[in-house]
Structures are given as structure tokens and as C-alpha cells.
Structure 1
Amino acid sequence: MPTGGHRVARNVTAGVAQVRPNPWYGLELVPEGHVPELPELPLHTAGGLLDEQHRHCANPACGKPVGRGHGGEPGRVEGVCPHCGTRFDFSRPLGRTVAGRYELEHVLGSGAYGAAYLARDRNLDTHVVLKHLNQSVAQTALDERNALVGLRHDSIVRILGYEPEGPHLVLEYVPGAPLVARDDDPLETLLAHGIRVLQALDYLHARGLLHCDVKPLNIIRFREDGATGPLDRVRLIDFGSVRSRKDTGPVVAYTKPYAPPQEDREHAEPTPGFDLFGLGRTLLEVCSAHLKNRTAPGVHSLELLLQRATDVGLPERRFVSARQFGEQLSGVVRQLVAASPTGRQVARPSALFGSMPEPLHGGLGVARPLGDWVRAVPDEDGLLTLPEPFSAPRLGEIAVALPTPLADPDDPYIGESAGNALAESRLALRRKDAALAARALERSGLDRWHWLHAWYSGLIALARADTALAAHHFTEVRQAVPGELIPQLALGLCAECDGARGHALAHYGTVFATAPALGAAGFGLARVLLPAGRREDAVATMERLAQEFGHEREARIAAVRLLGTVLSPPGTERPGTPTEDDLAQARETLAGLDLDDAAAAGLRAEIQYAEFLRTRDRLALSEAVRQLGAYAPTEREYVALVDLANRLRPAPERRWLRRRGRTGRARFRDTPGTLSS
């Protein structure tokens, strides 16, 4: 809930028109498999009494164990709760028939409100669940009946009937088990079940209802026969705590470990956030074994997601709708499956960020600037003083190129005035006015914990050349929306600019593996792979990026440059010259590119310089540099290139001539094909 009074108008923009994507797309990425076997029906227990472990006080305000044995003596089946004085009677045995139709066979569970039995429906010759509620809470049975009777969702248990005797609800029997992780369950399979529960909650919340008791025991995992084979599915059960959003008063029936703290506003004024918190705690428990390996791809993102879903220190950060939760959970699944052996990738627009056409290749996607050759100075061995062949993008460029956030339809904190202020801040950044951008951000009225405030603060920090502060803010954004890739891309760019290539490699690698179409991640990945001595991997990255529409030309140029790039002269610790095979591949790739003559000449010169470092063929390098002169924009630059070409030429060899001149002296001449400087 908002603390600063910013719950204002909805459906407004933060600079770009909003979208309403499908937040459940993660389900499409998880293959069917690991389908559980159908469990056997519970053993028939007709004639038995309710097991002591299922005996609880019928008073919902109490619900404590009653009728339990002590010192080897069985517990009483009739009596009074020692805690609150409510009478109990568990003397009626199983094996009896309810409403002349339902034969009770087994106790499935019980609590403060009564017990659930497995029963056989004589009329339909099938098993059902008969849920008996104590007379003291008979109204709860009517509430649950009224809630379930109108629900039709694949992930919600179905009501089949209602019997006033008892009273009893008649529910479908789902032959499964509470949701737990099996040893062979991939993490993405468990998260897919989380998405299915979110779908059910979204359906429930849209009808003004809250479940109020989401926990593993109330999510049944079962095997379902589909048209293409068996399916692994879940169903939300036990609507004994259901309530309408119109109801007043605090939540009474819930399970403490899966509910917000008692002092949380969700107890006094429950919203869908109450159920979402329960699901967050459920996923924490179900995925606990996987969460221990934080270095596995996607696991840290999941950890951040569940931290937001269950945040008790700053409840405003928590998800406010099942769709908002589902979008981020699907994004985490997307990261997981991209890193799996199948490497499954999906191209889709971000739900929270606009497009990013700028590739930020840092000079890698174009030929080396002609000015580098103009200003090059050779030493006596022909080695040139050339600038680095490419570099991380400039911070100001990054601040402008990173995409504009979209409006989140589920975010209650963005109103029209805030959206206008953010749009003004973005415009100021494009004009390179960081001070104005900062003032506009403050006028937005956004709380500092909000991810949009952190995002714009990060952009402003970049514009002010403060990468450490920018990375801090982008980390806050990643913590809030861990299913999104743009914050990780921003962190990769900050890390590269700060020289932290290891961190940059991790962020770029995740983004590019998940969504290769984000060209900035691919170029960044190649830039940090090459200095690490991984030329082949850097080239492969560009070859993969070349398959994406919009980046093909720049990526193929980058592949040529990576194959022929010399990062430093031989003898240094950094990777030196390319191999003969690298240069052959570079020439072959260059021959297949449709480039203008100037770009082609520049790439040939770069390849030839790498060849020179291997062979010391000064003549070939000189010719490659001389050819660049034809594309010099000024006479001064043309002269500089020709002069460089002449200085690179090998010294002419002197050959004595046998014939003598008129003076009778021996004469010599320059070797043909050479030109002295």
C-alpha cells in the first residue's frame, strides 16, 4: 500500500504508450515432462474414528489440537476444548453414508472448521471429496459454496454439489498430492506451476474474491490426460477461508507462515496482495533446494523475485496483481530455459521497457575510423601507434540509448503528473541536461523505493559520468523487476565502463543468451570476450547476432574486425595477433559483405596490419594504407596517409650494375618495384 499518498490515476504513460502483454508466456517455454504418476486411492478406513492427528477445536478463533492421547492412553472422542471451552464430538465413525448417497471411506484432513473425507458417490460411481464443516461455522460452508459454484477454471477445484446435512460441500476429487519438489524436477517446471496458480488467482481476484490461504497443502499437483499425452498440472483447493473484497473486518482464517505479518495492513484491509504473498512463500519453500545454487543461471533472478513478493520491511514493493507477479515470473523462466541444454529462446517485447534500436557497438560494428590511420606513427620496425580498435560506449550515449520505461497498468503509484514529469526528465537527458532531468524526476513525486525512480536516477548518474552510482540504481531496478533484461544490460554496460569485465561478461551473457535480438548485449559480450583471450567465442557471438534482423550488417563487420583485431603489440600479456586461419576467415567474410569502397578498404587495411605482425611484409601493408588515401576527405589527410604508406615501405635494395658509365665508374640503381621515401 502507498505510504506517500501517491495512489492516483491509472492508465497513464511514463513516456511511452502502455502495453498489456500476456504475462503467462513462461508456460509456453516449459516442455511437458516429469509427469507425476497417479497415486493410489487411500486405504479404505470404513468403520474407523477420526484419527487423533486430525482432531482440532471447532472454534475458528482457537483451532488448537483436542482429543489427543497422553501417556500411552488414547484421547477422548467427546469433551470440551481445554483452551476455549468449545465442545467437540468425534464419535461418529467412517463407513457411514451422507445424504443416502456418499459413502465415507477415508479422512483426507481436518482442521478448526471440520474434516474432508474421500467418499464414493453411489449415483455417479466415482470418488468425490466430501467436506464437512462444524455447525459453529456453517456460514463458512455457505460462503465457500457460493464462491465455488460460479468458478470455472482449470487450476481451481470444482464444486459438484452441496448437502445441507452436515452441512457438506461435494467437491471433485483430485488424485494428487500437495505441491512439493521431486528430485528430478527442473526449476522451470516448479515455476510453471507457480504461473498456473497465478492464473487461478487472477481469475479469482477479477471476480472480487480472495483465497486467503495459499500454501503448498492447498495446491494439489496431479496427472491429467491431455490430447497429446499426460500432463503435469496443479489445482488450487480449500476455499474455506475465501472472502469477498467487499467484506469488512480483518482476515480470520489463514496459515501464519504463508501470510503477511499480523501488523501488516493486508490483515486489516486485505487485497490480492494477501494471496500473492502466500504464493511467494510457497515458491520459496517448494524451490528451496534449487535456490541454494545461486550461481546457476536464473536462480539469482528468482531469489530477487521472491524477495520482492514476500518483502515485509517495505510492503509497498510487493506485487499488487497476479499479472504483475506473473510477468516477472515468466521472465525468470525465460532466463532459465535459455540457459538450459536446449537453449530455448523467445523473442518478445518487454512489458516495462520500450524498444532499443541503438546497438551501442562502441566502434566494433564499423571499420576503424580513417583518422586513426591518419594519426598513426610507425616505429623503425613498422609497428603503428593506433588507438584501441573499439571501446565501451560513452556514458552519455548509454544514458540516451537505454530505452524508455512503459507504463505498468498494474502500478498504482504512477499518475498523470508523475508520467509527465518522467517524460520531461527523459527529454532533458536526450538534450544532455542532467540537472534539468534531476529536477523533473523530483517533481514526479515518486517514492525513492520505486523502481522507476531508481531507473531515472541511474540514467542521470550516467549523464553525470558516475558509473558507480548508476550501477547502484540499476541494481535497485533489477531487484524490483528481475524478470526484465534491460536492467541487466544496463548493469553490464556500467561494469564494462568501470573495467569490471567479469561482471560485464556475466550480465551480457545472460541477456544475450535469453534475447539475442538485444544487439547491445551481443556487442558488449564480444567486446569483453576478446580481451579475455576468447576470440573464437567473440566471433561466434557476432555470427549469432548477424541472424537477428536489424543488426546483420554491423554484426558481420564486427566479426571481420574481431578476426583481424590486434589488441596490443606482440610480447605483451594481452592477446596478440590473430592466427593465419583467423585472417583467412576474415578475408572470406569480408568478401561476402556488401560494403561501400571506403569501409571495405578500411577493413582490408586492418586485416593487413594483423598480417604484417605475423609476416613483417611491409610492402603489402604500405599498399593497404595507400589505398585508404582515395577516401581521405581533405588534402592534408591524403598527404598524411601517403606519407605513412611511404614510411612503411621497406628500404630499397642497392644492386651494382656491371656496365660502366662514361666516367668508367660502377653504377647502382634501386630494385624495381620499390620507392624510396
Structure 2
Amino acid sequence: MCNRPDCGRGEIDAQGFCDVCDRQPLPQDDAASADRAPEPEPPARGGARVGVAHVRPDPWYGLGLVDSDQAPQAPDAPLNSSDPVAEDHRFCANPSCGQPVGRGHDGEPGRTTGFCPHCGTRFDFAQPSGLTIAGRYDVARVLGSGAYGAAYLAHDRNLATHVVLKALNKSVAKTARHERDVLVELRHDSIVRILGYEHEGPHLVLEYVPGVPLSARDGDRLETLLAHGVRILQALDYLHARGLLHCDVKPLNIIRFREESPAGALDRVRLIDFGAVRSQTKDTGPVVAYTRAFAPPETDPEHLRPTAGFDLYGLGMTLREVCRSRWTDRSTPGVDSLHLLLDRATDPGRPWRRFVSARQFAEQLSGVIRQVVAAPPTRRQVARPSALFGSMPEALHGGLGAARPLAHWVEAQPDEEALLKMPAPFSSPDPGDVAAALPAPLSDPDDPDVTGPADSALAESRLALRRKDAASAAGQLAAAALPDWHWLPDWYCGLIALADGRPKRASVVFTQVRRALPGELLPQLALGLCAELREDRAVARAHYSTVFDTTPALGAAGFGLARVLLLAGERAKAVDVAEQLAKEFRYEREARVAAVRLRVMVLAEPDHPAPTEDDVARARAALPGLDVDEAAAAALRAEIQYAEFLRTHDRLKLSDAIRALGPHAPTEREYVALVDLANRLRPALRWRWWGKRGRTGHSRFGATPGGLSS
């Protein structure tokens, strides 16, 4: 019963909402307080409200699913270099100039020493060692040079460790001066530490990370690479919260390194090279420093007014590059979802589809990792509440989780061989029941304005769906006036199409939801249910398998998978699914019943294999341990006996099993029908009289030649 003082009369449904006011009940303490001192609540905004998830509690959970036991080998200690700097990295050291120098022409190599033709500053790229900067940094080698300036590996005399000195050209030096106080304070495990700022040059002084640019190594599993993506998203979230944009996220600016810890060597990454960093508040002009291959198209609005989306696009392109060799087979668990994830993250023509925050991106990326690690060799299954959808306790077992209805036996028609013509032993769930069972979305933490003004209309739409009133649900959805670009209206359109008995239409719109939320399992479950309703069992099996292998806690996927496996003639696999599902406490009773029934079910398909002797024996052995009433037990015994009859043709035992259903018949008519069926199945009695031959040609011992027997 709902404990809210302004309701107090509704029942709480399986999703935890009152069927009258459509709100969740108050916590016990709040309810008691409301009973002691009731106060009027503010006026409702036109109806019931939807549940709200204000924050994403842990979008980084994918990191906990990946073993960090593949740490790369630590590189050798840096040595002084005697090699000349490559021509592509030769730029004038004058921060006010920064022009290319020492370049070759007409096939001739460039000069390693000389003077800049633009400003006259001397350059020497023959041997970087021997240079000391600011009186404390002894340069060991040039790590690289570019339009932003040169980067040196140097030994810090004061700290007795290696550091990176980044010489800044004029434009970057100006940015660094504006942001240096903030950058020096950055402390994040996945961001290179900025140790100081030297006016000579000027130079940024950064922590030296002895690693290599992020790439896929031999032996890397896909989830390992994706976990590095989550770590960089953590770094970007930290950076964006401080009003900063990196603006040059790419593989070369993500260093993969080996970190020693008390637990052993760890595989880690750090974001480096803040040469293009900018403030979201102080820098208002267009982006000028970026890498074209990893940035949105130049016509994209992100170039004029960059947001966090600029960095997220760069990370999406980075993951495309890094995972390219690991995602060729889209049938591999999680790989198709990864394609959809990166398609959304890097959509070039529809920027409104892309992710708007690092946490939003990480939520979906963690979901993809969850699908990947559920496959061999890891086989790690994780039950976790969604940040975007409510729970779904309904099993939608389609009759698998309960004994055959008594009406099936009442209506059974035997043929001359005592084979029974009966309704199908199970069915796909009713589309209206599916629409009512699929959970309602919660408010989107990244787009709260989408659902805020529309929550009352959406709640009324859900109530109409529970009544299987598709027309009213569609009217309320129209009144909600949701934006077309968001996935939320597509989800409701899919539910409404199901309530209207149109699973093909529902599949179309649920596909759009899946493309927007590839890390979520519920859109895949919805697509599996729609495919089963369309009798597309191959597609249904693919979706059900992904969801069930990832988490059996969504029981509807397990029951759906068992149905399509049995119809495909794979009885043993269907039973195995039911037995796995029985380990979930919520579905234990129904799943154990389903396992028994799946062993002995007889289908009307012509080539469907019949139950074996072992199937019947196992089903009979499991029957006493089921938590069912006597009527259900009698029905299960009858189903088991019918399966045995197909092998032994023992009509008497089958007749007795059906006769035992009679006492559970609710009406006299049904009782008579069951007894009549049992009598018709009994073997015919053959009477033989044995005695002396009589005049009629009969004797007590049977018929004489030419006579009759009875």
C-alpha cells in the first residue's frame, strides 16, 4: 500500500511505483514523520511525476571489470642523444618566431646548424646535449618539436630526476601565462603533472612519464584498451570541471606506461601535451591549435565555441585508431556496441548526437566493457542498475515458468495412436505485456531540461501503456513535446508501437535508442523481444544472448533465449540457460519449473527432436524439489508422462497421469472432459474365453480357425 499522505490507497507495482499516484513510496522514516505531522504538499504539476536520477553514481565502473595484469615493460633509462634532430622537428627556438628552420630542399638535407632566416636566431640541431636551461635543467635529448615549440628531456639538478621542458612559442606562451596557476595545481592520476613554469624560454616543466604513445600491443585484449579510454575520460572530466579544454586529444598525447605499486605492476595512461589548452571562460575565440585528424570537421560549431565535446570527439577518434585491429568482427560480444558508441562520439554531420560530458561518454563506454568481458576468456557477469532506466523485475517467460494450463489438457484431442493435439506449450509474450513491462526511463542527468517540463505527461503515458491504451499513450507523448534529437521519444514510441501490436515499427525506433545508448542492455532486450514477436529467431537469439551473457539479472532475456533455443532444436542449451537463470534469486522458482518443462516439452514442428530417456529421467528427478502447488505438480507429471509415452507407448500410465488432473479441475465440465480423455487413452480391453469348442466355432481358449475373437 502506498504510504504517501496524499495518496494512501494505491498498490505498489513490480517496478516500485504506486498504481494510483505513480510515485515511489516514502522511506520508512519519512513516512512515519509524515504520519505524525502531515503538511500540505505544493500543488502537483498536472499529474504524476517520473523517477529522477540526479547524478551518475559511478560512470567509471568499467575500470573494475578489467584486470590490470598486462603492464608494459618499463623502457630503459633515458640516455644523452648524439643524433641530430629530425628535420620535421626543427623549429626556431625564438618563442616570438617559431618558424621551420634547417629543412632540406631539392633532395638535399637541411643544415643542422645555422641562423633562422626570419629572425636571425642561431639554431643547432646537431647534438642537443650540453644545453642547460634556467641553470638547473640539463637537456639530454629533444623529444619532439612542433608548431607549439620544442620538448626536451632534461635532468633537473634540484630534484635529481628527469623532467620534460616544453619551450613555448608566442601564442602558447600567452595561454600558459594565463593558465599556469591553474595548471600547476592539477593533480590527477591520468594527467601528466605540471611541475612549474620557467620564464626563460618560457618553458613549462612537466613530469617525465617513461612510456610510449597509446597503441594496441600484441596480446592486448579489447577491454584493456577501452579501460584506458575510461581513464582518459576521468582526466577530461577533472579538466572540464575546472573550466579547461585540452583541445588536442590524440594517441600521441596519451602516454602508456608501467606503474609499480604494492599490488604489482599496473598498466596506466596519462594525458600529456597541454600546448593547446584553453579556458572555457577566458578564451572566447575559435580554436586555432588542434590536430585535424582528431578534431571535429572545420565547419562544426565546436570550432567557433568549443565545449567539452571538442575533447570527447578527439577521444572517440583516438579509440577508433587504437582499437582498429581489435574490432573487425562485429559478431564478437561488445564489438557491435563499440562501433555504435564511436559512431555516436564522432558523428561528423549531427553534432547534437555526440556526447556532451565525459561522464555521459564513460557510462556508455563502461557498458560496452561490461559486454566485452562477459565473453570468453574472462566470462565476468555484472548486475548493475542502469543510470537511465528503472528496474525490470518481470520475467516475461511466456508460459515457460509455469505448468501447462489445465485448459490445454481439457482441450486435448487424441488421434488413433493416442498422440495429443494440444495448444503450444508456451508462446512469445503478448506485445502489450512487453510494453507494460519494459521500464520507464529516468531523467537524463546530462539533459535534465529534456524531461523536466514533460514529466507529468510522460507519467500519464506510462499509465496508459499499463492499461494497454496505445492511443492515450501516444496523445500524452505528443503533449510532452520532447525534442526529436533525444533518445527518449524513440523509447516511448517503441513502447506505444508494441502496445498497438506493431513490433516491426517498435524495432525501428528501438534501434535508434540502441544507437544512442550502446552500453545499455535494455534497448537490446527490447530489440530481442521485438524480433521474437516478428518470428525472426536469429536476431532475437543474438540480442538475448548478449544481454543474458552480460547479466542474467535481466530474466526476460534468459527466458527469451530459452524459448528460441528450444524452437531451434537445441534443447540441451535451452535447459542450460534455465538452470543458469535459476541461480538468480528473483527468478529461481520460475526458472526451475522452466528447466523441467524444457526437458520434456513436445513441439508440433515436424523435425523437432523428441525428449530422450535421460531428459525424462532428469525432469522426473527434479520434480519433487520444485516449489509448486499440487495442481501444478500434477500438470508437470502429466507433461513428463506424455514425453515418456512417445518413447514407450504406455497408454495406461499416460491415462492415469491425466486422470490425476481431474481433482484440480475448477468446473464439473472440465472434470468430465479430463476423465473422458483419460478413458479414451486407456488401452482397449481384449477378453478371451478358454474352454471346449462349441457349435458356434468359439471356445474358452479363443477363436478357432475361421471363427471370431472378442
TM-score, scaled to structure 1: 0.92
The DSSP-based 3-state class of the residue aligned with 2:456 is helix
Match of 1:245 in 2: 280
Trace 1:124-139 onto structure 2 (pairs within 5 A). 124-135=159-170, 137-139=172-174
Contact 1:49 1:90 in 2 (8 A): no
> Relative to 1, partners in 2 of residues 1:137 and 1:197: Cα closer, same or farther, differing over 3 Å?
closer
Match of 1:592 in 2: 625
For residue 20 of structure 1, the aligned residue among 37, 52, 56 is 56
Structure 1, residues 237-281: CA drift from partner, whole Å, max 9, x if none?
A: 111111111131111211111111111111111111111000000
1:498 pairs with 2:534:
yes
Letter of the 1:390 partner, please give it: F
- Separation in structure 1 between the aligned mates of residue 479 and residue 97 of structure 2, nearest angstrom: 51
> Relative to 1, partners in 2 of residues 1:136 and 1:443: Cα closer, same or farther, differing over 3 Å?
closer
Match of 1:285 in 2: 321
- Separation in structure 2 between the aligned mates of residue 403 and residue 612 of structure 1, nearest angstrom: 43
Contact 1:135 1:166 in 2 (8 A): no
1:150 pairs with 2:182:
no
Match of 1:618 in 2: 651
- Separation in structure 2 between the aligned mates of residue 59 and residue 519 of structure 1, nearest angstrom: 67
> Relative to 1, partners in 2 of residues 1:192 and 1:301: Cα closer, same or farther, differing over 3 Å?
same
RMSD across aligned C-alpha pairs, in angstroms?
Answer: 2.4
Match of 1:527 in 2: 563
Match of 1:217 in 2: 252
Match of 1:581 in 2: 614
Contact 1:141 1:168 in 2 (8 A): no
Stretch moving more, 651-660 or 220-229: 651-660
Give the superposition deviation at 1:411.
Answer: 2.0
Taking only the aligned residue pairs, the percentage that are identical comes to 67
- Separation in structure 2 between the aligned mates of residue 147 and residue 564 of structure 1, nearest angstrom: 70
Match of 1:10 in 2: none
For residue 459 of structure 2, the aligned residue among 395, 399, 423 is 423
- Separation in structure 1 between the aligned mates of residue 464 and residue 94 of structure 2, nearest angstrom: 62
> Relative to 1, partners in 2 of residues 1:298 and 1:59: Cα closer, same or farther, differing over 3 Å?
farther
The DSSP-based 3-state class of the residue aligned with 2:421 is coil
- Separation in structure 2 between the aligned mates of residue 267 and residue 61 of structure 1, nearest angstrom: 25
Trace 1:222-241 onto structure 2 (pairs within 5 A). 222-241=257-276
Match of 2:472 in 1: 436
- Separation in structure 2 between the aligned mates of residue 494 and residue 66 of structure 1, nearest angstrom: 64
Trace 1:315-394 onto structure 2 (pairs within 5 A). 315-394=351-430
- Separation in structure 1 between the aligned mates of residue 350 and residue 659 of structure 2, nearest angstrom: 66
Letter of the 1:307 partner, please give it: D
* Unaligned ranges ≥5, structure 1: 1-12, 670-677
> Where does structure 1 differ by over 6 angstroms across 4 or more consecutive aligned residues?
57-64, 85-88, 665-669
The DSSP-based 3-state class of the residue aligned with 2:420 is coil
Give the superposition deviation at 1:435.
Answer: 1.3
> Relative to 1, partners in 2 of residues 1:136 and 1:484: Cα closer, same or farther, differing over 3 Å?
closer
1:453 pairs with 2:489:
yes
Letter of the 1:623 partner, please give it: D
Contact 2:172 2:275 in 1 (8 A): no
- Separation in structure 1 between the aligned mates of residue 526 and residue 121 of structure 2, nearest angstrom: 62
- Separation in structure 2 between the aligned mates of residue 291 and residue 86 of structure 1, nearest angstrom: 50
1:90 pairs with 2:123:
yes
Which structure carries more relative contact order (alpha carbon 8 Å, separation 6+)? 1
- Separation in structure 2 between the aligned mates of residue 207 and residue 30 of structure 1, nearest angstrom: 29
Match of 2:677 in 1: 644
- Separation in structure 2 between the aligned mates of residue 312 and residue 40 of structure 1, nearest angstrom: 41
Contact 2:461 2:474 in 1 (8 A): yes
Contact 2:565 2:571 in 1 (8 A): yes
- Separation in structure 2 between the aligned mates of residue 631 and residue 106 of structure 1, nearest angstrom: 89
Contact 1:147 1:242 in 2 (8 A): no
Letter of the 2:165 partner, please give it: L
Match of 1:100 in 2: 135
For residue 194 of structure 1, the aligned residue among 226, 229, 234 is 229
The DSSP-based 3-state class of the residue aligned with 1:468 is helix
For residue 200 of structure 2, the aligned residue among 161, 165, 184 is 165
1:109 pairs with 2:134:
no
Stretch moving more, 70-79 or 387-396: 70-79
Give the superposition deviation at 1:421.
Answer: 2.3
Letter of the 2:515 partner, please give it: Q
- Separation in structure 2 between the aligned mates of residue 179 and residue 573 of structure 1, nearest angstrom: 54
- Separation in structure 1 between the aligned mates of residue 464 and residue 115 of structure 2, nearest angstrom: 75
Structure 1, residues 66-125: CA drift from partner, whole Å, max 9, x if none?
A: 4311222424755667xxx67765347621111211100100111112111000111222
Match of 1:33 in 2: 69
Letter of the 2:87 partner, please give it: E
> Relative to 1, partners in 2 of residues 1:262 and 1:86: Cα closer, same or farther, differing over 3 Å?
farther
> Relative to 1, partners in 2 of residues 1:514 and 1:386: Cα closer, same or farther, differing over 3 Å?
same
The DSSP-based 3-state class of the residue aligned with 2:523 is helix
- Separation in structure 2 between the aligned mates of residue 77 and residue 179 of structure 1, nearest angstrom: 33
Letter of the 2:409 partner, please give it: W
Contact 1:362 1:392 in 2 (8 A): yes
Letter of the 1:354 partner, please give it: G
> Relative to 1, partners in 2 of residues 1:62 and 1:462: Cα closer, same or farther, differing over 3 Å?
farther
Contact 1:654 1:668 in 2 (8 A): no
Stretch moving more, 434-443 or 188-197: 434-443
* Unaligned ranges ≥5, structure 2: 1-47, 703-710
> Relative to 1, partners in 2 of residues 1:453 and 1:60: Cα closer, same or farther, differing over 3 Å?
farther
Give the superposition deviation at 1:20.
Answer: 2.7
> Relative to 1, partners in 2 of residues 1:533 and 1:451: Cα closer, same or farther, differing over 3 Å?
same
- Separation in structure 2 between the aligned mates of residue 343 and residue 76 of structure 1, nearest angstrom: 56
Structure 1, residues 449-488: CA drift from partner, whole Å, max 9, x if none?
A: 3211111111111111111111111111111100000011
Structure 1, residues 523-543: CA drift from partner, whole Å, max 9, x if none?
A: 001001112121111111111
Give the superposition deviation at 1:16.
Answer: 1.8
Aligned residues: 649
Stretch moving more, 451-460 or 422-431: 422-431
Give the superposition deviation at 1:489.
Answer: 0.6
- Separation in structure 2 between the aligned mates of residue 513 and residue 98 of structure 1, nearest angstrom: 58
